[in-house]
Structure 1
Amino acid sequence: MLHDGNMSAPVLGKKIAKISAIFTKKMTSPMSTFFSQVNAMTGKQEWVIKAENYDYHQEVARSAYADMLHDEERNKKYYIGLKKAIQKMHSEGKKANVLDIGTGTGLLSMMAARCGADSITACEAFTPVAQCARDIIKANGFGDKIKLIPKRSTQITVGPDGDMSHRANILVTEVFDTELIGEGAIGTFHHAHKCLLQEDCIVVPTAATMYVQVVQSDFTKRFNKLQPIKVPGCDDIIPPNDVTNCPGAAAVHDIQMDQLSHDQFQPITEPEKVFWFDYSGKSEIKFSDKSMKTTTALQSGDCDAIFMWWDIQMDLDGDVMLSCAPRWGHPEPKNMQWRDHWMQAVYYPPSSCTVAKGDQVNIHSFHDDYSLWFDVTKGETKDFDTEHPVCTCGVHILYSRGRIGMLNDSHRNSVYANALRKVLQPGSVCLLLGDGSFLPMLAARLGAQCYVLETNHIARRVLEAYCTRNALTNVKVINKEPSEVTEGDLDGHKVDIVLAEPYFSSSILPWHNFHMWFAMKELTNHLRDNASVLPHSATIKAIGVEFKDLWKIRAPLGICEGFQLGIFGQLIENASELADDNVEAQPLWEYPGVALTEPFDLIKLDFNKPPSSQGEICCERSVNFMSEGTCNGVALWIDYSLDQDNTCANTSQTQDNTSAHITTGLFEKATIGHQLKWDPFTRQGVHLIKPSNITGSNTLKVNSEFKLNTGDIDFKFQIL
């Protein structure tokens, strides 16, 4: 039962409703202002009208608080840890004075109040959340028990005239991310012990342990190192030496590691403990540290990647542990909590290392106050220092992990090569529209003269290095936007073929890559009358899905551990309505879901016809649900047809490569009631909806509207 300060449940409910209404009014104020932004589809700078506090709304909507509050294991174990800490202080005849750093909704502070803490101070630097926490605390009846300070913990003063009259002897905080230290946890704990806590304090959590595992994995390696591109009937396209020898970037590659199948990686070592962080204050937390762990290779192979996860100890006794391990390293693999705010991480060693079974393997681990990096050696190796890896080739600066994987996709490259072989003629002139594409090298290897519009100096450097390494003299890189191109830039040629993957680094949603279609309008005078476009056409497709877990990141927030947090749920919902599109980008290969409908077509585009001639494209589709279940999302993606008849020259031994079809979505046929298989190197669009139980009599209705004058695509979804 809520600690309500003699408030009845109906009265409490009315107070919460009243405060929610106040927030709703604030969030939906009719005031508006102009914002300047680049339209991802058209590429044009434009002025748009948005809510006056748009940045405020967006910051609230992007916060991950709601996802954390749906993490039941986290909430319960923090509750237990707090209860034990408060009981221990009381058993020693001491008052329990709690400090909650980064209180968010005030949940942990209210837990402390219910557990009998004598005083509670909470701090929250994010202003809109701090105000919301204040009202949540008051609505739950703890307004006179919890003091909320809208500051960073490092700004809190202690003393008779300070924010806190005395130091706390219990600290509870959740300042962790997938890397454990990426949100500044080391500095937060260090400052708290120095300035805000007593020497005999208890900290919840009291410690953390970091684990790593060296693996061989062709799959994860494709996200890091560019591989040679095979061109049927021609020499391979080989990466330059500076790309091959680059140490890469230490940037974390966070993934839902449980979605890796057993055939996508092979363990080289067992999971090993590499760092232990003592938050209790009994020993110093180092701002930078290193360790070397020596172990034995379980099998022969290449040390392609290092998997990392951590666990935290919630109490002094070590009885309450929270693990972020994947299934094969988890203490309770059959009872694992799904979470998206703490995942697992992949790191890539800067040096290559191949081992034989039984070899001595040395795992070198390093951290500073915000980041981690690792390396692997074998045999007798002394502990050594290494600098934070920095990309020297430009690839890891220029491309996202997914983009590197896309460029390494051998099937995709074969389909493009075969499609090019079909349309290229001796002396063909090609023009590439897109960012950091290797299509010009494929076309040049097949004999075409290629022109590339590339304004990014790093991308130009990478492409020119590739051309030099592969002796491709028939590729010219032009540092201009489409509207700036002159006849002289093209050496007096008219363009026979416009090439695009399409891919643009500014794209977030799949259809943002239609930017190439709009850019083509600027090049009309440079194209032959019969010029062809590759890809020829595109189709936006959709499917109704029952996601196993992904829906939880947008699930409504109400009661959490007995506390009413509906005010915060309303705050996020209102902010999202004002700041978010109703379709977001997600790497769906990481989020299991089963098909409830057949895939269906929405909008079809012919890239050989300029957008200005097609006006507005509208589509209304209703499809039947083919299985009973719970529909909680609709996935959307793009299928591209590279040529008009959607077939390629048959130069490959595999039948699939004769189809001139590229997808950013499903790479296996959808089967009703079975798990969907998604392209792992692109992000799909997803509309998450309130879970709805459906039967075969229900239908999914989708309305699509493509406004060609603005490049905006709007979707409306409805279950009938």
Structure 2
Amino acid sequence: MKAFCGRSMPSTGASDPVEESEEYDYHQEIARSCYADMLHDHDRNKKYYEGIRAAVARVKARGERVVVLDIGTGTGLLSMMAVTAGADFCYAVEVFKPMAEAARCIVEKNGFSEKIKIINKHSTDVTVGPDGDMQMKANVVITELFDTELIGEGALPSYEHAHRNLLQEPCEAVPHRATIYAQLVESELLWSWAQLQPMEVGGGRLVPPPAMGRCAGAHSVCDIQLSQVSPHSMALLGPLCTMFSVDFSKPVSSAVQSHTSRFVARCGGRAQAVISWWDLDMDPSGSVVCSMAPSWTYPETQVAPWRDHWMQSVYFLPAESPVTEGEELSLTVRHDDYSLWYGLQGSSQQASHTDAPLPRPCCTCQAHLVWTRPRFGELNDSRRTESYVSALRSVLREDSVCLGVSDGSLLPVFAHMMGAKKVYALENSKMAKEVIEQVLEANSMEGGVDMLEVRAEQLSSGDLGGEQISVLMGEPYFSTSLLPWHSLFFWYCRTALAGLLRPDATILPRAATLNMVAVEFQDLWRIRAPCGTCEGFNVSPMDEMVQRSLDFRESREAEPHPLWEYPCRALTRAAEVMTFDFTQLIPQQPISSQGSLPFIRKGRCHGIALWMEYHLTADISVSAGLIGPVSEQGKCQWSRHRKQGVYFLRTPWESSGDGRAAATYSFTFEPAQGDIKMDFRGESL
């Protein structure tokens, strides 16, 4: 059976009906839900197993039959651990149908079908009784319902329902307890992701609107691999605070709650953000602990376990506030059933505000709804700004008529500040248009940029007052872009606007190049690596289901990843492999490129890293990937502002580093789809 579904094409801006099998979405979900990073997390698995064995032993010591409830079983691994540890029966609940089917296959393959029942439901829909999903209530509950924020996947309401309806009281829980920690910091790097900063533009100064400075920002958590943020880029203003704990063996409430930690400031500075993580105590004594702390908190960073399913959190305070050394401070965290937020009070504020509820952060300036956190960082990057300003300075004239084509971009504002005769900007989003207008108003430049809320193909000469465009500019940045080459949407806009350009019009950027390097990942390879056997259990049916789903898709694809969070080594040189000339119209025929890059360093190649570089002028370029040369050892430094593309190899290639083998590549840009088809092979030279 075939069905039509609408598929967005970020590079072209089009949304076309595509004929797909009725099983397309099913296979897409399986392909994207690979649990490899969790199954490869030996530290997590080992500590869960230790906690499960201890819980089963405690119940048996009381002379009771051990009945386990495993909520969110995934592959069924924890249920199999429970039965191996001596549990009499296990109810394994999994709401995601493909995973429930995978769990059934895995449980059967390992010979546990008689003692493990897979229930394909949400746990809040599970019933108990002679005709129910469970014959009796459980006396041991095992869960892995946690995300980076601990409670973001609905752990609290799931536990609350389970204690009321599915569990005996008292019961044993694995994990037994979770504890959230937080630390107050000042960090120019982190704060650059929260607020627009003043910037120097061609001898002038651009300031953010006052409303942005007063705005509490987006309320969603900023989850990152904090291990990759140097502690030297943060001033730790206070000690690591224990904010609150949840005992999962007792009834849990999902109601809104607040917790406060009081401490004395270690040093003076500007309180801007709170860094946070949590630990799991697998047993009541706290002797088996699974920690999410960043690697730089360990005495030896190399022994810290790597996880991508659980990272660390950054919470931005509603406003930065001065802190003096020795000052008494109160850090408050408030949470509902799915999220947390923080507030800070100094000693002078505590008396009058102690009982006031901490309001949930809410964006009132619209900027935090238009710009993502990496986008804030990009706009605040002074070196990047200087590159664009230098490029504009070289092309602007007194009679320049400029048109900006990017989402929520400040380039049109820059062009006006630098003396362009007339500046227009295309904005598809009304909200983005209003944010740029706020910036203009805050800098007394009302009307300096005509904001046009139309698509490029809809723009007419009348919209430009009969003027022809002499400078077409873009960063390019588009909110719909996922992969690096999706920003080629700028090229499609440039082509649509050809009739409105002067014959000698400047296109900025004038070109873009797709770049690649073959890499060995320190840890990221785990998310796509087959598991086969995990902690002594055969989980190959999961690998097989994922592989079938990948094969179901007509072509293998690259994935977007922020590589600054995932260290890797370059095994080949970095190279430009495809060029897109924006001074010309999009061609009718595909563009192809083939070649090879010799392996010059020894290692195991896990994949190909891909990124775009934008050539603003003949001598000014901006990279959305590698920033700076690769070190002699192959260490790479990646832009924090954009995600790069990663093409994972199904089987890693071994490199001896003697140049006798190479990564061969083949790229084809399809103008009709705006997509790039790619293929890579390891070959001997």
- Aligned residue for 1:612, secondary structure, equals coil
Structure 2: how far apart are the matches of 1:54 and 1:71? Answer: 30
Q: Answer yes or no: is 1:691 the counterpart of 2:661.
A: no
Aligned to 2:670: 707
Aligned to 1:428: 400
Aligned to 1:676: 636
* TM-score normalised by structure 1 residue count: 0.91
Picking from 460, 464, 474, the partner of 1:490 is 464
Shift in Å at residue 286 of structure 1? 4.6
Letter in 2 for 1:673: Q
Which segment drifts farther, 58-67 or 484-493?
58-67
Which segment drifts farther, 330-339 or 699-708?
330-339
Letter in 1 for 2:625: G
Aligned to 2:379: 407
Deviations 1:595-648 (A, max 9, x none): 2111111111110000136x22111111111111111121111111111x22xx
Q: Answer yes or no: is 1:365 the counterpart of 2:326.
A: no
Picking from 101, 123, 126, the partner of 2:96 is 126
Aligned to 1:144: 114
Decide whether the 8 Å contact of 1:353 with 1:377 is kept in 2.
Answer: no
Picking from 56, 60, 69, the partner of 2:26 is 56
Aligned to 2:357: 385
Letter in 1 for 2:631: T
Q: Would you tell me which structure has more strand in proportion to its own residues?
A: 2
5 Å matches for 1:435-450?
435-448=407-420, 449-450=422-423
Aligned to 2:65: 95
| Cα separation, partners in 2 of 1:32 and 1:210, compared to 1, 3 Å | same
* TM-score normalised by structure 2 residue count: 0.96
5 Å matches for 1:477-516?
477-516=451-490
Aligned to 1:320: 288
Shift in Å at residue 331 of structure 1? 8.0
Q: Answer yes or no: is 1:605 the counterpart of 2:583.
A: no
Aligned to 1:470: 443
Decide whether the 8 Å contact of 1:537 with 1:604 is kept in 2.
Answer: yes
Decide whether the 8 Å contact of 1:452 with 1:477 is kept in 2.
Answer: yes
Aligned to 2:565: 590
Runs (4+) of structure 1 moved beyond 3 Å?
283-286, 328-334, 576-581
5 Å matches for 1:262-661?
262-281=231-250, 284-330=252-298, 333-380=301-348, 381-382=350-351, 383=354, 384-448=356-420, 449-472=422-445, 473-578=447-552, 581-612=556-587, 615-643=589-617, 645-646=618-619, 660-661=620-621
Q: Answer yes or no: is 1:220 the counterpart of 2:183.
A: no
| Cα separation, partners in 2 of 1:323 and 1:118, compared to 1, 3 Å | same
Structure 2: how far apart are the matches of 1:633 and 1:287? Answer: 45
Q: Answer yes or no: is 1:86 the counterpart of 2:60.
A: no
Shift in Å at residue 335 of structure 1? 2.3
- Aligned residue for 1:352, secondary structure, equals strand
Structure 2: how far apart are the matches of 1:532 and 1:286? Answer: 58
5 Å matches for 1:67-216?
67-216=37-186
- Aligned residue for 1:236, secondary structure, equals strand
Deviations 1:412-466 (A, max 9, x none): 1111011101100002000111110000000000111111111211101101111
| Cα separation, partners in 2 of 1:55 and 1:503, compared to 1, 3 Å | same
- Aligned residue for 2:487, secondary structure, equals helix
Decide whether the 8 Å contact of 1:546 with 1:629 is kept in 2.
Answer: yes
**Kindly, what percent of the aligned residue pairs are identical?**
40
Structure 2: how far apart are the matches of 1:581 and 1:359? Answer: 56
Decide whether the 8 Å contact of 2:494 with 2:582 is kept in 1.
Answer: no
Deviations 1:511-559 (A, max 9, x none): 1001010112221221111111000111111111111001110001210
Decide whether the 8 Å contact of 1:105 with 1:133 is kept in 2.
Answer: yes
Structure 1: how far apart are the matches of 2:253 and 2:49? Answer: 25
- Aligned residue for 1:414, secondary structure, equals helix
Decide whether the 8 Å contact of 1:596 with 1:672 is kept in 2.
Answer: no
Structure 2: how far apart are the matches of 1:492 and 1:692? Answer: 58
Decide whether the 8 Å contact of 1:39 with 1:45 is kept in 2.
Answer: yes
Shift in Å at residue 692 of structure 1? 2.3
Shift in Å at residue 581 of structure 1? 4.6
Quote the RMSD (CA, aligned, Å). 1.5
Structure 1: how far apart are the matches of 2:25 and 2:359? Answer: 37
- Aligned residue for 2:79, secondary structure, equals helix
Which segment drifts farther, 687-696 or 676-685?
687-696
Deviations 1:373-396 (A, max 9, x none): 001222241423122110001111
Decide whether the 8 Å contact of 2:277 with 2:293 is kept in 1.
Answer: yes
Decide whether the 8 Å contact of 1:351 with 1:376 is kept in 2.
Answer: no
Shift in Å at residue 122 of structure 1? 1.1
- Aligned residue for 1:567, secondary structure, equals helix
- Aligned residue for 1:353, secondary structure, equals strand
Structure 2: how far apart are the matches of 1:453 and 1:599? Answer: 34
Deviations 1:659-704 (A, max 9, x none): x110001111112423210111111111122322211221111111
Decide whether the 8 Å contact of 2:56 with 2:66 is kept in 1.
Answer: yes
Structure 2: how far apart are the matches of 1:441 and 1:64? Answer: 44
Decide whether the 8 Å contact of 1:431 with 1:498 is kept in 2.
Answer: yes
Aligned to 1:238: 207
Shift in Å at residue 51 of structure 1? 3.3
Structure 2: how far apart are the matches of 1:632 and 1:284? Answer: 43
- Aligned residue for 1:230, secondary structure, equals strand
Shift in Å at residue 183 of structure 1? 0.4
Aligned to 1:8: none
Structure 2: how far apart are the matches of 1:333 and 1:483? Answer: 53
Shift in Å at residue 232 of structure 1? 2.6
Shift in Å at residue 49 of structure 1? 3.0
Which segment drifts farther, 327-336 or 147-156?
327-336
Structure 2: how far apart are the matches of 1:94 and 1:32? Answer: 53
| Cα separation, partners in 2 of 1:286 and 1:333, compared to 1, 3 Å | farther
